[in-house]
Amino acid sequence: MYWHPMAVPHLRSMGCSMDSLKFVASWKSRIAGAKQQVKVGGLQLEGCTFDGSRLSENQHDSPSVCAVPACYMAWIPQSVPSSYSPEECVWLPVYTSAERVRMVTNVQLPCGGYQDQWIQSGAALFLKQQETERDRDTGRDREKQRYRERQRYRERQRYRERHRERERQRRGREGQRERERQRDREGQRRESESRQSKREKEQ
């Protein structure tokens, strides 16, 4: 669901279809060209931190879930420029809670590029924060699990790179040995031809 009721004023006043509109968000100011927009506050972010300007990685002492600044959301015509360029933003899911059972929409956040980094980190927004100690422990466990998964992924990448490097070195050594064998065979052939030539001359 992408909050279709927000698009109703555009549809009625402009006589357009949903296909002619796009859903946008702005974390810095109100959205130009929007007939109706909402200011959404109290969102929680998991997987990274956000100061209103761009996403950044969590530090070792960062909380697993943190609050983000309020933002404006709206449906605007496709022809109206968005607040951010596609290259500098990543679309993150917004869930009703940290359990990630029900997704409400996707929202764009400026990240300075490298969209895959934030998708792989499992970053997501929530409408409400879990209050119980059990839920907080669960969130920390999820963050630890994702951290371990990222570590295992990096270790696999390092292993593959080491394997490829060993394979390149092995092929290089085999190629060098083959070239040496070819030189030996060529030397033996020339030596054999030389002896044969001498015997023929002696005869």
Per-residue three-class SS string for the chain: CCCHHHHHHHHHHHCCCHHHEEEEEECCCCCCCCCCEEEECCCEEECCEECCCCEECCCCCCCCEEECCCEEEEEEECCCCCCCCHHHEEEEEEECCCCCCCEEEEEEEECCCCHHHHHHCCCEEECCCCCCHHHHHHHHHHHHHHHHHHHHHHHHHHHHHHHHHHHHHHHHHHHHHHHHHHHHHHHHHHHHHHHHHHHHHHC
Cα-flanking dihedrals φ and ψ of residue 140, to 5°? -65, -40
pTM attached to this predicted model: 0.56
The CA distance from 197 to 91, in Å, is: 81
Going residue by residue through the chain (203 aa), what tens digit of pLDDT does each one get?
445 555 555 556 556 677 788 889 999 889 887 888 899 988 999 988 998 898 988 888 778 888 999 999 988 888 888 888 888 889 999 998 888 888 888 999 998 777 888 888 889 999 865 544 555 566 677 777 788 788 778 878 887 888 888 888 888 888 888 888 898 888 888 888 888 888 777 76
pLDDT at 9: 57
In this prediction, residue 69 carries a pLDDT of 92
Q: For residue 164, give Cα distances in angstroms to 156, 157, 169.
A: 12, 11, 9
| CB of 81 closer than 8 Å to CB of 34 | no
Predicted confidence at residue 132, as pLDDT, reads: 45
The pLDDT, as a whole number, for residue 125 is 93
Round to whole Å and give the CA distance between 127 and 55.
18
- What number of CA atoms fall less than 13 Å from residue 159's CA on the CB side? 6
